[in-house]
């Protein structure tokens, strides 16, 4: 079983859309250069990946002494998250946190195993709100990608029908993007 899982992981990584990964990198670089904000969101295990994204954007990718990304995970503040979930429509928990903050030129990164297909209505509403606002949207999804794959400006699909494989490869994609951003930002510092 261990060998099978690892071989499947390699097979899925080889099937990733590298052009989509490059587009996501370029969207994030453009956001950084324009001093926009990056918001991240996900549910369950994908919430931890969203938090990891925001952490790495805020620290790991930045050359010494340079301005960090303004990156926020919408699942970091449990009190705020549960207040909105308790006092308003649960599907609007992320939208309500972005109202008045998300602007055109910002980026919303959404991470979801199923891409909002039958699950994660909060992420689907968030992508639609971001598009109305003029923000760019990036999604990391699995299975058939769901609504997020269809509606995001850039979507990176893990072609797997497995939650563990999808979540594992989302972290590989996250770290690949961070490596790319770190390299590009360092190159910019030396110009």
161's tokens = 């029908």
* Range 88-108 average pLDDT: 96
Q: Which structural domain, as residue segments, surrounds residue 149?
A: 2-189
% of the chain beyond a pLDDT of 70: 97
Total structural domains in the chain?
A: 1
- HSE toward the beta carbon, residue 9, CA cutoff 13 A: 16
CA dist., res. 12 & res. 170, Å (int): 11
b/e string for 1-23 if b means 16 or more Cβ within 10 A?
eeeeeeeebeebeeebeeebbeb
- In this prediction, residue 189 carries a pLDDT of 61
- In this prediction, residue 42 carries a pLDDT of 97
* Range 149-171 average pLDDT: 97
Nearest to 26 by CA among 153, 131, 175, 140: 153
Q: Is the pLDDT of residue 176 over 50?
A: yes
Q: Give Cα 163 to chain centroid, integer Å.
A: 17
CA dist., res. 49 & res. 40, Å (int): 9
What confidence tens digit (pLDDT) does each residue in 100-147 have? Answer: 999 999 999 999 999 876 678 999 999 999 999 999 999 999 999 999
Nearest to 71 by CA among 114, 30, 133, 28: 28
What confidence tens digit (pLDDT) does each residue in 21-38 have? Answer: 999 999 999 999 999 999
pTM of the model: 0.95
Q: Is the pLDDT of residue 191 over 60?
A: no
Q: Is the pLDDT of residue 190 over 60?
A: no
Q: Residue 98 belongs to what H/E stretch? A: helix 93-98
* Range 45-67 average pLDDT: 96
Q: Is the pLDDT of residue 159 over 60?
A: yes
Looking up residue 57, the CATH number of its domain turns out to be 3.40.50.10490
């Amino acid at each position: 079983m261990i060998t099978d899982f690892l071989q499947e992981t390699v097979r899925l990584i080889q099937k990733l859309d590298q052009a989509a990964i490059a587009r996501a990198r370029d969207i994030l670089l453009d956001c950084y250069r324009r001093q926009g904000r990056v918001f991240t969101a996900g549910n369950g295990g994908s919430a931890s990946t969203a938090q990891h994204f925001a952490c790495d954007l805020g620290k790991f990718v930045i050359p010494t002494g340079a301005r960090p990304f303004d990156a926020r995970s919408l699942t970091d503040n449990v009190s705020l998250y549960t207040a909105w979930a308790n006092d308003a429509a649960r599907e609007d928990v992320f939208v309500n946190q972005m109202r008045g903050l998300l602007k055109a030129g910002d980026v919303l990164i959404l991470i979801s195993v199923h891409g909002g297909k039958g699950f994660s209505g909060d992420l689907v509403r968030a992508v639609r709100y971001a598009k109305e606002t003029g923000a760019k949207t990036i999604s990391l999804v699995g299975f058939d990608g769901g609504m997020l794959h269809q509606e995001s400006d850039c979507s990176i699909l893990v072609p797997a029908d497995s939650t563990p494989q999808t979540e594992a490869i989302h972290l590989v994609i996250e770290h690949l993007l961070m490596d790319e951003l770190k390299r590009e930002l360092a190159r910019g510092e030396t110009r």
